[in-house]
Structures are given as C-alpha cells and as structure tokens.
C-alpha cells in the first residue's frame, strides 16, 4: 500500500487545503495520527473508512472546527487557525453531518443565511446577496419550494436546501460530512449528482466523507482510505479499492468487479474477516 501514500495525489493545480502532519484528539483520546493530505484546486475527493476511523474528525479539522493537537491545516498556504474565521468562511464552506434547521425556517431563509460571511450589520441584503440566493435556489431546483418551511420537506429536499445554502455562501471549497445519511438510495444519488455538478460545472473543490464504497467509487475523482486515524491509501478509485485494501481496512473479504454502469470498481462483499 505504501506506494499509494503519496500525499500529492492528482498533482494538477495548486494546493488549496492541506493537512500537514496533523494529529487530532478529543481531550486525551487521539483520533488521527500524523496525517498528511493535500487537496488541489478543482479536485473531488472522497474520504472512506470504517466507523470510528477518524474521517469525520479529519473533515472537521480541515474545516477549522477542530484545532489540531499537533501539526497544522493550511488554506491557500496560510495556517487556517490563524486566519480570521470570517475570511475562511468566504473561501471554505462546510456542511456538518445531519444538520438541523430551526423549526419554521423557510428554504429561502436557510439559503440566505449562507450569505452571513458576506454581510455586515449595516449591509444585510445587498444585490449580490439577493442574486446569489436566487441563483443557488434555482441551481438546486428549489425555487418552487423557497417559501416552504425546511422541516416540512422530505429528507432529500432538505439536504438539497443545505447544499444550496453552502452554494449561496459562494466558496471555492466545500466540505461535506456524509451528506447522504438517512436518505434512501434514489435521494443519495440525487444529492451526489448535485455534488458532482458543483464540481464539474461550478469548478468547486469538494471533499466528501462517505460511507457507501460503491457510491464513493462512482463519484470520487480521488479516493482516500483511512483506518485507525491513519491515511492508508490515496488515488483513483481503481487504484485504491482493491481486494487487498478491503481486507486490510474494512476487514472484509470481497470481490471487486467493474460497475456495469460507470465502469468504476464495485465491491461485492463475501464475508467479514476476523
């Protein structure tokens, strides 16, 4: 596996966001150890790994929500923890796992909150705010639902609304923590198609934490596998998702066959290894 550990995976474009020898801990419990990861302009990276491997923790650190115990995260070469949080919020947007909207909040209001880093006490609704929100709503196909309360939407629509908020924020980078949680398969596809379009049509640099390996393989430009807080493999889905890696990282005996639709690797589980 070591040949796949090169942190500068796809190599194209400048590095926007990087973890440099990052160790992450909650209190004394170390979750991620000495991890290096570089995310280049315009890439779509999917992070996978078993439960508790530290993938969500890593994403929180990349989004400056968690201060590394050691090492640092840099955004465009600057230490992210030393950059004013509002400046970061204009460049980097993030969506936590299963976010909850306050009851009664309309879709349009939710999306409008994405403009918060661009607003001041005096300038709370500029023309650019207005057009960004209208565009984000239209782009996520929510214009018709703009005046509906978020809590009345279906799970898939709700997740689209949150993505729309992140889009209205107008950031180059977007970090998504398991955006498909609690969704049925067709809505998972719906959300991931939207994320892919953000990447291809809007040129966003996207990092997604995902559970489902087959969906990860289908959508990822670059796949990163983690286990026990360590980065185990990084590369194209075909390079990373091998039978050996599945055994090592997921303790799973599995066959890897080409996805009949996309041609990406598809995991067919056989049995759990002990």
Partner 1 sequence: MSTTAPERPGTRGRAVVRLGPASGRLRWRQVLVPATVAVAVVLLGAVGLGRGDFPIGVGDVLRTLVGLGEDRQRFIVLELRAPRIVVGALVGLALGLAGALFQTFARNPLASPDVLGITQGASVGAVAAIVLGGTSGVGGLLGGLGVPLAALAGALATGLLLFVLAWRAGIDGYRLVLVGIALWAVASALTDWLLTRAEVFDATAAYVWITGSLNARTWDQAVPLAASLAVLVPAALATSRSLGVLQFGDDTARGLGVRLVRAQTGVVLIAVGLTAAAVAAAGPIAFVALIVPQIAVRLTGGSRPPLLTSGLLGAALVIGADLLTRTVLPTALPVGILTAAVGAPYLLWLLVRGRRSTS
Binding residues (CB under 8 A) for partner 1: these are: 60, 63-65, 85-90, 93-96, 99-109, 111-114, 116-117, 119, 121-127, 129-130, 133-134, 137-138, 143, 146-147, 169
152 contacts: CB under 8 Å, gap ≥ 6: none
132/245 with CB nearer partner 1: 132
Provide the minimum distance between the beta carbon of 18 and partner 1 in the complex, in angstroms, as a whole number.
19
146/192 with CB nearer partner 1: 146
Helix (H, G, I), strand (E, B) or coil at 40: strand
Distance of CA 171 to the CA centre of its chain: 13
168/252 with CB nearer partner 1: 168
Structure token digits, residue 63: 């989004």
The rounded distance, in Å, linking the Cα atoms of 256 and 243 is 6
Provide the minimum distance between the beta carbon of 78 and partner 1 in the complex, in angstroms, as a whole number.
16
Structure token digits, residue 182: 């609690």
* Phi and psi, residue 38, nearest 5°: -120, 135
The rounded distance, in Å, linking the Cα atoms of 116 and 99 is 17
Helix (H, G, I), strand (E, B) or coil at 170: coil
Angle, CA 183 vertex, CA 181 and CA 189 arms, to 5°: 100
The rounded distance, in Å, linking the Cα atoms of 80 and 19 is 10
Provide the minimum distance between the beta carbon of 71 and partner 1 in the complex, in angstroms, as a whole number.
20
Provide the minimum distance between the beta carbon of 274 and partner 1 in the complex, in angstroms, as a whole number.
36
Nearest Cα neighbor of 219 from 245, 200, 241, 192 is: 192
The rounded distance, in Å, linking the Cα atoms of 47 and 28 is 24
The rounded distance, in Å, linking the Cα atoms of 53 and 43 is 23
- Specify burial of residue 148 (Cβ count, 10 A radius: 0-12, 13-18, 19+): middle
70/86 with CB nearer partner 1: 86
71/99 with CB nearer partner 1: 99
Provide the minimum distance between the beta carbon of 25 and partner 1 in the complex, in angstroms, as a whole number.
13
83/242 with CB nearer partner 1: 83
Provide the minimum distance between the beta carbon of 55 and partner 1 in the complex, in angstroms, as a whole number.
15
37/111 with CB nearer partner 1: 111
């Amino acid at each position: 596996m070591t040949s796949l550990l090169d942190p500068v995976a796809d190599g194209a474009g400048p590095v926007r966001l990087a973890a440099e020898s990052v160790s992450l801990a909650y209190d004394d419990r170390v979750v991620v150890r000495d991890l290096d990861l570089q995310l280049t302009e315009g890439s779509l990276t999917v992070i996978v790994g078993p439960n508790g491997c530290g993938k969500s923790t890593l994403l929180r650190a990349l989004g400056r929500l968690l201060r590394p115990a050691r090492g640092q995260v840099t955004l465009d070469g600057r230490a992210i923890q030393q950059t004013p949080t509002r400046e970061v919020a204009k460049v980097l947007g993030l969506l936590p796992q299963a976010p909850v909207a306050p009851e009664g909040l309309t879709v349009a209001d939710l999306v409008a909150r994405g403009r918060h880093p661009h607003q001041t006490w005096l300038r709370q609704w500029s023309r650019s705010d207005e057009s960004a929100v209208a565009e984000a709503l239209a782009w996520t196909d929510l214009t018709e639902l703009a005046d509906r309360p978020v809590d009345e939407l279906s799970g898939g629509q709700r997740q689209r609304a949150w993505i729309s908020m992140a889009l209205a924020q107008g950031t180059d980078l977007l970090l998504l923590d398991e955006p498909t949680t609690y969704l049925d398969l067709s809505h998972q596809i719906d959300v991931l198609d939207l994320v892919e379009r953000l990447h291809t049509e809007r040129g966003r640099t996207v990092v997604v934490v995902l559970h489902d390996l087959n969906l990860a393989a289908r959508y990822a430009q670059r796949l990163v596998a983690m286990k026990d807080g360590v980065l185990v493999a990084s590369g194209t889905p075909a390079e990373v998702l091998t039978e050996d890696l599945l055994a090592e990282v997921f303790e799973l005996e599995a066959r890897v066959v080409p996805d009949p639709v996309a041609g990406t690797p598809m995991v067919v589980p056989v049995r759990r290894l002990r």
